[in-house]
Amino acid sequence: MVKKYETPMLDQLETGPWPSFITGIRDLADNHKDERIQAVNHSLLGQLEHSYETRKGYWKGGTVSVFGYGGGIIPRFSEVGNQFEASREFHTLRVQPPAGNHYTTGILRQLADSWEKYGSGLITFHGQTGNIMFIGTTTENTQHFFDEVNSYGFDLGGAGPCVRTAMSCVGATRCEQSCANEHKLHLKLVNNFTDDVHRPALPYKFKFKVSGCPNDCQNAIERSDFAVIGTWRDEIKVKQDEVKAFVKEKGRKYVINNVISRCPTNCISLEDDDTLEINNSDCVRCMHCLNVMNKALSPGDDKGVTLLIGGKRTLKIGDLMGTVIVPFLKMESDEDYDRIVEIAEETIDFFAENALEHERTGEMIERIGLINFLEGIGIDVDPNMVSHPRESSYARMDTWDEEAEKWNNRKSETAA
Amino acid sequence: MATASTPRSPIESGCPDGLQYVHPVMLKNFGNWDYHVRPRPGVLCHIAKSGDKIWTVRVGTQRILDLFTLRKLCDIGDDFADGHIHFTLRSNLEYMVDKEEKVAPLIEAVEKEGFIVGGTGNSVAMISHTQGWLHCDIPGTDASGVVKSMMDELIDEFKKEEMPNRVHITTSCCQINCGGQGDIAINIQHTKPPKINHDLVSNVCERPSVVARCPVAAIRPAMVNGKASLEVDEKKCICCGACYPPCPPMQINDAEHSKLAIWVGGNHSNARSKPSFQKLVAAGIPNNPPRWPEATAIVKRILKVYKESAREWERINDWIDRIGWARFFEMTNLPFTKFHIDNWRGARKSLNASTHIRF
């Protein structure tokens, strides 16, 4: 006999035009053919109602993993399991989605069938780190479900102090602004660290995110330790006939107010014949004009990526954006991909050895200074790493001549 | 009796190749897209340099999908689309089709089943959110319920593209802010120090790591009633809740004193200005399930003023950069308090050291 609960508060979330997650959970509770799934969903609704009534959460963590791994599961044991027995153990499996979040209905159905055998029947595409979240199963079924999906190509993501599941935008598969092979970068980077994903042994989490252009649809700069952003260094491609057509359609006032005057470095002007002139050496690749006039303007051909390191959320010293570490890296040959993986390895090795417990990469850099980090991973300083040079004169500079010589030598090497 | 069996060793395959699941038209034109248009809200049409076209229909769902709903979405994908599904960062589902004539029947099928077509261009996009009371171990509020309640009220703006620029809203159930940065963010803000269950601390918590976790060094080891425990300097405590995850006996969540705060102007994009973090605009909002009407009302008020006042292409941060914060508070009729003036590290950079003042 499946135990049911009164849920007057949750019932109020079944009204209104937006699809209701409560209706979905209740559908499983009332109508699924498997009594196990009915029971666990009724129990979940009961505990959630209890949370709504008391305005408190009642899950606690623990230690659950699958054979051979140390992470990837979010263990949840109910603190009120005596009242809500069928969802007493309600762990989440974090499963890495296919890079770029692409699926066929066939593979989604296969995942659903596996989860129906072993889990609650609730799935989220995707959690904030980027995992498929299979929400709600017992310790025992965690292993069975993993064994089954692992046998057809899926693997757990990260949880705890480890390399986490990566994310990448739709990019080259559908977007005209793509300046990189986001998919390949995603796989090359995160799959080089599979061991560090499955066995949490770092000071704290480490995230990769890849966005194909500076619109940064993956929020990589704000929320990843290692942000890879596609960009280009030659000229914006302009189809002047399309520019003229755009001006004709929208009017000069619109183009001046929404394109010309919005350029952050004033490098674009509307000519008397309704064509555009762009001073590309002043352009910061902000994307605004390309976004507004996406048919007339395109990124250049000399594409690559910018790397920014150290983005993270609030805990513990406050939110940090990533900092430019490599302004431009060409991404064509195998060696180019090897180089970006090498920078990631150097960064994670340095992080593992130098960060304090529970300190993110960005916080470590804040504590030790960017220069110590750069020297640790073997990257030379570059003016693109700063918004502006030092403002305070309180700094010791007695090796100035040597440092200036390094810069001059690098410059003459590049010129040679 | 359980039979002993050799445990299965995992195949450490890592992240699966996504291209095996990509629509063939998208695969064929990989890296060779020319431009896109939006024939109507919720629909994108991308045109490749080869002349090929792909239509995308973007669909809002409840995010936490039950098996019935997931299979229903797959059925729609098989019957009315080409069997390929892509999920966006904000948990919208996208169907791709290779012919324009498939778009209208697909939209009809999606809407008939109660899903919502929209979320493209200058819309209020799906609210990105966290787990909340449904699954998190440290939540101050629910996530899915807040989002369901707000999207019920914002659904028209999801279905249209009538905002000055896109609006990304996020929610977070604690101050760690897993929901991330948003044009508007609705996050828990605790207002009282943790209540410590001294009987449990020594058994449950690794005390040095709890002490180390505090951002303001307000926690120190102490003997309480003869037991090794921790104490909090309540004058120093900023009520952030950072001690609670490593030490659950330091209960920070409180039915009355855990409030909601609203932040605006977070923008991930590099377009026009550099990426920006969100700024506090309102706090002390009751955490009021099941529908959180007070928080929704403030979000709607901010959106209304933004919609009326911002120029085309101005994200919320661009708009406020132009009109200034004084006018923002005036127009939204939100109180400006001493709590809006930052006192965290780097706060000095947020002070106005100029005569740039709008009258």
Taking residue A290's Cβ as centre, other Cβ atoms within 10 Å add up to: 23
Smallest Cβ–Cβ distance between B35 and the set A27, A31, A294 belongs to A294
State which of A157, A175, A196 marks the end of a domain. A157
Task: Let me know: does A175 contact A135? Beta carbons within 8 Å.
Answer: no
CA atoms within 13 Å, Cβ hemisphere of B151: 34
Restricting to B residues 314-343, those with a Cβ less than 8 Å away from any Cβ of A are: none
Nearest chain A CA: its distance from B64 CA (Å):
5
- Pairwise CA distance, residues A297 & A413, whole Å: 34
Contact list in B for residue A291 (CB cut-off 8 A) is: 271
**DSSP strand E in A204-290: where?**
208-211, 226-232, 237-238, 268-270, 276-278
For chain A, say whether B192 makes contact (Cβ under 8 Å).
Answer: no
pLDDT of residue B156: 98
Residue A116 maps to a domain:
yes
How far is it, in rounded angstroms, from Cα A147 to Cα A92?
15
Question: Which superfamily is assigned to B132-191+255-340 in CATH?
Answer: Sulfite Reductase Hemoprotein, domain 1 (3.30.413.10)
What's the domain range around A282?
Answer: 237-298
Q: What is the pLDDT, as a whole number, of residue B3?
A: 57
Q: Is the dihedral of CA B42, B108, B87, B298 positive or negative?
A: positive
Q: How far apart are CA A317 and CA A303, in angstroms?
A: 35
A333 in the same domain as A185: yes
Chain A residue whose CA is closest to B214: A316
Q: Do B64 and A172 touch (CB under 8 A)?
A: no
How many Å apart are CA A389 and CA A406, to the nearest integer?
Answer: 18
CA distance B219 to chain A (A): 14
CA distance A63 to B162: 48
B134 close to A (CB below 8 A): yes
Contact A13 B11 (CB under 8 A): no
Q: Are residues A368 and A267 in the same domain?
A: no
Q: Are A227 and A209 in contact (CB under 8 A)?
A: yes
The answer to the question of residue A415 being in a domain is: no
In CATH, what number is assigned to the domain containing residue A215? 3.30.413.10
Is position A414 within any domain? no
Say if residue A177 is in the same domain as residue A311. yes
Domain ranges (residues) in chain B: 19-117, 132-191+255-340, 196-251
Handedness of CA A57, B295, B178, B280 (dihedral sign): negative
Q: In chain A, how long is the greatest CA-to-CA distance?
A: 83
Chain B interface, mutation test: which of A13, A102, A197, A213, most B Cβ atoms within 10 Å?
Answer: A102
Percentage of residues of chain B with pLDDT beyond 90? 96
Considering its fold, how many domains does chain A have in total?
A: 3
- Nearest-angstrom CA–CA distance, B276 and B335: 23
Instruction: Report CA-CA distances (Å) from A151 to A8, A103, A146.
Output: 42, 17, 8
Q: What are phi and psi of B112, to 5 degrees?
A: -60, -35
Contact B87 A97 (CB under 8 A): yes
Nearest to B345 among A17, A217, A318 (CB): A318
Give the separation between CA B81 and CA B3, rounded to whole angstroms.
47
What is the C-alpha to C-alpha distance for residues A410 and B228, in angstroms, rounded to an integer?
Answer: 58
Least CA distance to B114: which residue of chain A? A19
Among residues A137, A157, A177, the one where a domain terminates is A157
Report the complex ipTM. Answer: 0.96
On whether both A70 and A111 belong to a single domain, the answer is yes
Facing A314 at nearest CB: one of B17, B46, B176 = B176
The residue of A11, A41, A128, A151 whose CB has the most chain B CBs within 10 angstroms, and thus the best one to mutate to test that interface, is A128
| A203 prior amide bond cis, ω within 30 | no
Instruction: Please name the fold of domain B19-117.
Output: Alpha-Beta Plaits (3.30.70)
Q: Do domains B132-191+255-340 and B196-251 have the same CATH topology?
A: no
Task: Mark yes or no for CB contact A55/B258 under 8 Å.
Answer: yes
A157, A184, A199 - which closes a domain: A157
Residue of B nearest to A298 (CA): B34
Residues A105 and A200 in one domain: no
**Does any domain span residue A98?**
yes
How many alpha carbons fall within 13 Å on the CB side of residue A381?
13
Q: Does A400 fall in a domain?
A: no
Which tens digit of pLDDT belongs to each residue from B42-83? 999 999 999 999 999 999 999 999 999 999 999 999 999 999
Q: Do A105 and B83 touch (CB under 8 A)?
A: yes
Q: In angstroms, what separates the C-alpha of B102 from chain A's closest C-alpha?
A: 17
State how far residue A410 is from chain B, nearest Cα, in angstroms: 29
Q: What CATH code is carried by the domain that includes residue A273? A: 3.30.70.20
- Pair of tokens at residue A249: 């359609």
Mark yes or no for CB contact B62/A19 under 8 Å. yes
Chain B residues inside the 8 Å CB shell of A81: none
What CATH number does the domain containing A15 carry? 3.30.70.2500
Instruction: Say if residue A265 is in the same domain as residue A294.
Output: yes
- The answer to whether residue A175 sits within a structural domain is yes
Q: Do residues A18 and A150 both lie within one domain? A: yes
Residue A408 lies in a domain: no
Cβ-Cβ contacts under 8 Å for B14 (sequence gap 6 or more): A96, A155, A187, A190, A191, A194, A197
Q: What is the dihedral of CA A286, A291, A297, A299, to 10 degrees?
A: 50
CB-based contact B148:A13 (threshold 8 Å): yes
Q: What residues contact B68, with CB distance under 8 A and at least 6 apart?
A: A24, A27, A28, A31, A32
Q: Is residue A87 part of a domain?
A: yes
Tens-level pLDDT at each residue, chain B (359 residues)? 455 678 899 999 999 999 999 999 999 999 999 999 999 999 999 999 999 999 999 999 999 999 999 999 999 999 999 999 999 999 999 999 999 999 999 999 999 999 999 999 999 999 999 999 999 999 999 999 999 999 999 999 999 999 999 999 999 999 888 888 999 999 999 999 999 999 999 999 999 999 999 999 999 999 999 999 999 999 999 999 999 999 999 999 999 999 999 999 999 999 999 999 999 999 999 999 999 999 999 999 999 999 999 999 999 999 999 999 999 999 999 999 999 999 998 899 999 999 999 99
Please check whether residues A317 and A381 belong to one and the same domain: yes
A384 and A336 together in one domain: yes
What is the pLDDT tens value at each position of chain A, 416 positions in all?
A: 899 999 999 999 999 999 999 999 999 999 999 999 999 999 999 999 999 999 999 999 999 999 999 999 999 999 999 999 999 999 999 999 999 999 999 999 999 999 999 999 999 999 999 999 999 999 999 999 999 999 999 999 999 999 999 999 999 999 999 999 999 999 999 999 999 999 999 999 999 999 999 999 999 999 999 999 999 999 999 999 999 999 999 999 999 999 999 999 999 999 999 999 999 999 999 999 999 999 999 999 999 999 999 999 988 888 999 999 999 999 999 999 999 999 999 999 999 999 999 999 999 999 999 999 999 999 999 999 999 999 999 999 999 999 999 999 999 998 87
Multiple choice CATH, B196-251, 2.60.40.1180, 3.30.70.20, 3.40.30.10, 3.40.50.2300: 3.30.70.20
**A333 and A288 share one domain:** no
CB B155 within 8 A of CB A17: yes
